Amino acid sequence: MSDTFAELHARILAKTARIGIIGLGYVGLPLARAFASRGYEVLGFDIDVQKIAKLNAGHSYIKQISDTTIAEMRAVGFTATDRFDRLGEVDAILICVPTPLTESREPDLRYVINSAHAVAGQLRPGQLVVLESTTYPTTTRNVVLPILQRSEMVPGEDFFLAFSPEREDPGNATHSVNTIPKVVGGLDDNSSEVACALYAAIVPNVVRVSSPEVAEASKILENTYRAINIALVNELKVLYDRMGIDVWEVIDAAKTKPFGFQAFYPGPGLGGHCIPIDPFYLTWVARQYGMSTRFIELAGEINTGMPTYVVAKVADALNETGKPLKGSRVAILGMAYKKDIDDPRESPGFELMELLLKKGATVTYNDPHIPNLPPTRHYAHLKMESQPLTAEYLQAQDCVLIATDHSAYDYGWILAEAKLVVDTRNATKNVSENRDRLVRA
Ligand SMILES: NC(=O)c1ccc[n+]([C@@H]2O[C@H](COP(=O)([O-])OP(=O)(O)OC[C@H]3O[C@@H](n4cnc5c(N)ncnc54)[C@H](O)[C@@H]3O)[C@@H](O)[C@H]2O)c1
């Protein structure tokens, strides 16, 4: 057993190991909280100086994490910094930076590569580096390792390297970093051992796998599985609608089967940082192996077609009331990609808004969690503020489109005040009054 391994292992168990987290976003910040709450000193690294200033002043910028939590983290030693030369101060470095797609829908690993270079510049014997960002299998070994190895230190002896995917479930209080099992795959036995010991301090169940590639591939499997199953129910929604069958009732019936079926639900399209993006990392790497990932392509095609389907349903519903979409006032309720969160990344709400505007509708929105639309790469021109949700506002609309089923909404009241409601989430399922104003899409 090497001295560096034994020392790091002992420090992790004694909770004297200092933890560095690169990327203080939706993944990195909850992770920092988890380690801080278990008594570890955490140093957070980010390139966004505004976020750093906010966090160091004791303020959160993520709805799920309160200012009180940040203040508690600060009280036990959490600090945020953009000084990457401080990476040498920590014993474990967890990389949680974005992994988006480029314009041509290929993996954009620049944030991971920049982080790896920052780590390589400070790497010292006895450090553990873990990549958490979702990516295609082989990234840890073929992209991160060569950058770290420039230091000429030996992996598994001088420093340790692993992949461990994040499994956040934003907006779901029953699942958190402290309850979700964590898959860990080290480059070698020592790396696996220290990485597993580290995560065992914050999660109830560490699942050790044989390599970083298995860990990377398992995360992409999880997200691809969701993307494909959501596409399946989205396709069935369109078919069953034509047949006059309620897809939501069908799913509720099917899910009473106690084995072999897991319920997925249709919607206005995919959203979020993960499900619409990650499967295409696999598609890209598959091409290097002479394969195409047909399920992923097909699911992508169906899911990205959903906003067009929803807008056609809005146009049909307005038509029934004698109005063309052009010139009609349409209010979108919910711009977050998922209920009860404040994250609009990749939200289908943007595409719905864009399509409705292109057809000449006057579009506004309300989202209690998103006061202003943030600038996005594809919809930078959509600058809008959330409108107050009042009876007058609802009454003034020709159509109210429920895009996200936030719990804060009173759906009975919305149906009572609006002339026409198009519901893409079955949010109105428990409302018995005024259903003649309702169209489901
Ligand atoms: N959000 C989720 O629910 C979720 C769940 C599972 C996995 N993931 C994956 O985790 C990773 C991070 O996602 P996220 O949602 O936390 O992203 P995010 O955009 O919320 O946060 C990323 C943070 O990294 C910072 N950053 C970018 N480049 C940096 C650099 N070179 N050095 C330091 N900081 C840098 C950004 O300023 C930002 O604060 C992605 O790979 C994502 O696919 C996200």
The answer to whether residues 222 and 274 touch, using CB atoms and an 8 Å cutoff, is no
Task: Give, for ligand 1, the residue of 29, 45, 46 to mutate: max count of ligand atoms closer than 8 Å to Cβ.
Answer: 46
**pLDDT band, residue 1 (cuts 50/70/90):** low
Which amino acid does the sequence have at 109? L
- State residue 136's pLDDT score: 97
Cβ atoms of 344 and 370 within 8 Å: the answer is: yes
Q: What is the mean pLDDT of residues 368-374?
A: 95
- Catalytic residue list contains 274: yes
Q: pTM value?
A: 0.94
C-alpha 96 – ligand 1 centre gap (Å) = 5
CA of 25 from ligand 1 middle (Å) equals 5
Task: For ligand 1, say whether the CB of 24 is within 6 Å of any of its atoms.
Answer: yes
From the list 2, 19, 16, the residue with the least C-alpha distance to 195 is 19
Q: Would the CB of 188 count as within 6 Å of ligand 1?
A: no
Asked if pLDDT for residue 255 goes beyond 80, the answer is yes
Dmax over CA atoms of the chain, in Å, equals 79
Angle at 306 between CA 300 and CA 310, to 5 degrees: 175
Residue 51 CB less than 6 A away from ligand 1: yes
What rounded mean pLDDT belongs to the chain?
95
Please give the distance of CA 313 from its chain centroid, rounded to a whole number.
28
Query: 3-state class of 323 per DSSP?
Result: coil
For the CA atoms of the chain, what is the radius of gyration? 24
**Could you tell me which of 55, 28, 336, 22 has the C-alpha nearest to residue 168?**
28
Q: Is 177 in the pocket of ligand 1 (CB under 6 A)?
A: no
Residues in the chain: 441
What separation in Å is there between the alpha carbon of 54 and the centre of ligand 1? 17
Cα–Cα distances in angstroms (integers) from residue 154 to residues 18, 149, 186, 199, in the given order: 22, 7, 14, 23
249 compared with 150, residue with greater pLDDT: 249
pLDDT tens for each residue of 28-55: 999 999 999 999 999 999 999 999 999 9
CA of 117 relative to ligand 1 center, distance in Å: 17
The reported pLDDT for the residue numbered 63 is 80
Does 30 contact ligand 1 (Cβ within 6 A)?
no
Give, for ligand 1, the residue of 96, 109, 139, 144 to mutate: max count of ligand atoms closer than 8 Å to Cβ.
Answer: 96
pLDDT at residue 242 in the model: 96
Q: Which residue has the tokens 């209690």?
A: 368
Residue the block writes with tokens 């914050």: 202
CA dihedral 5, 9, 14, 16 (to 10 degrees): 60
Ligand 1 contacts CB of residue 81 (under 6 A): no
Residue indicated by tokens 């101060």: 89
Sequence-ordered list of residues with C-beta below 8 angstroms from that of 240, at least 6 positions apart, any chain: 246, 247, 250
Active-site residue, from 96, 196, 274, 399 = 274
Contact in structure between 373 and 367 (CB atoms under 8 Å): no
Report the separation in Å between the CA atom of 344 and the middle of ligand 1, taken as the mean of its atom positions.
14
CA distances from 270 to 293, 350, 393 (A): 19, 11, 28
pLDDT (tens digit per residue) in 288-303 = 999 999 999 999 999 9
45 in contact with ligand 1, CB cutoff 6 A? yes
Reply yes or no on whether the pLDDT at 64 is more than 90: no
Query: What atom in ligand 1 is closest to the CA of residue 51?
Result: 39
pLDDT, average across residues 218-232: 97
Helical pair 278-288 and 294-304, crossing angle rounded to 10 deg:
150
With a pLDDT cut of 90, the percent of the chain lying above it is: 90
Instruction: Quickly count: other Cβ atoms within 10 Å of residue 14's Cβ.
Output: 9
Q: Are strands 127-131 and 159-163 parallel, antiparallel or unpaired?
A: parallel
Contact 194, 13 (CB under 8 A): no
Whole-number Å distance between alpha carbons of 132 and 96:
5
How far, in Å, CA of 398 to CA of 247, rounded?
26
Query: Minimal CA–CA distance to 309: which of 260, 385, 239, 391?
Result: 239
Q: Is the CB of 28 under 6 A from ligand 1?
A: yes
One DSSP character per residue, 132-160 reads -S---TTHIIIIIHHHHGGG-PPBTTTEE
Using the predicted structure, report yes or no on whether residue 204 has a pLDDT greater than 70: yes
**Distance from residue 295's CA to the centre of ligand 1 (Å):** 27
Does 22 score more than 90 pLDDT? yes
Distance in Å, CA 31 to ligand 1 centroid = 12
* CA–centroid distance, residue 23 to ligand 1 (Å): 6
Range with lowest mean pLDDT among 44-48, 58-62, 258-262: 58-62
- Average pLDDT estimate for 2-24: 95
- CA distance linking residue 144 with residue 130, whole number of Å: 10
What percent of the chain is predicted at pLDDT more than 70? 100
Q: Is 420 in the pocket of ligand 1 (CB under 6 A)?
A: no
158 pLDDT band, cuts 50/70/90, is very high
Dump pLDDT digits (tens) for 376-420. Answer: 888 989 999 999 999 999 999 999 999 999 999 999 999 999 999
> 242: buried, middle or exposed (CB in 10 Å: 19+, 13-18, 0-12)?
exposed
Q: Which tokens is 322 given?
A: 């004698």
pLDDT of residue 375: 87
Residue 75 pLDDT: 94
Q: What is the mean pLDDT of residues 98-113?
A: 95
Measured between alpha carbons, how far is 91 from 15 in angstroms, rounded to an integer?
11
Closest CA to ligand 1's atom 36: 23
* Mean pLDDT on 81-97: 98
- Residues 304-319, mean pLDDT to the nearest whole number: 98
CA distance 4 to 2: 5
C-alpha dist (Å) from residue 440 to 226, 251, 359, 368, 409: 22, 15, 20, 22, 17
Report CA-CA distances (Å) from 351 to 136, 155, 313, 413.
27, 46, 15, 27
State whether the beta carbon of 220 lies less than 6 angstroms from ligand 1: no
Q: Distance between CA atoms of 83 and 430, rounded to whole angstroms?
A: 52
| For ligand 1, mutation pick of 273, 345, 347 (most atoms within 8 Å of CB) | 273
What backbone phi and psi angles, to 5 degrees, belong to 16?
A: -95, -5
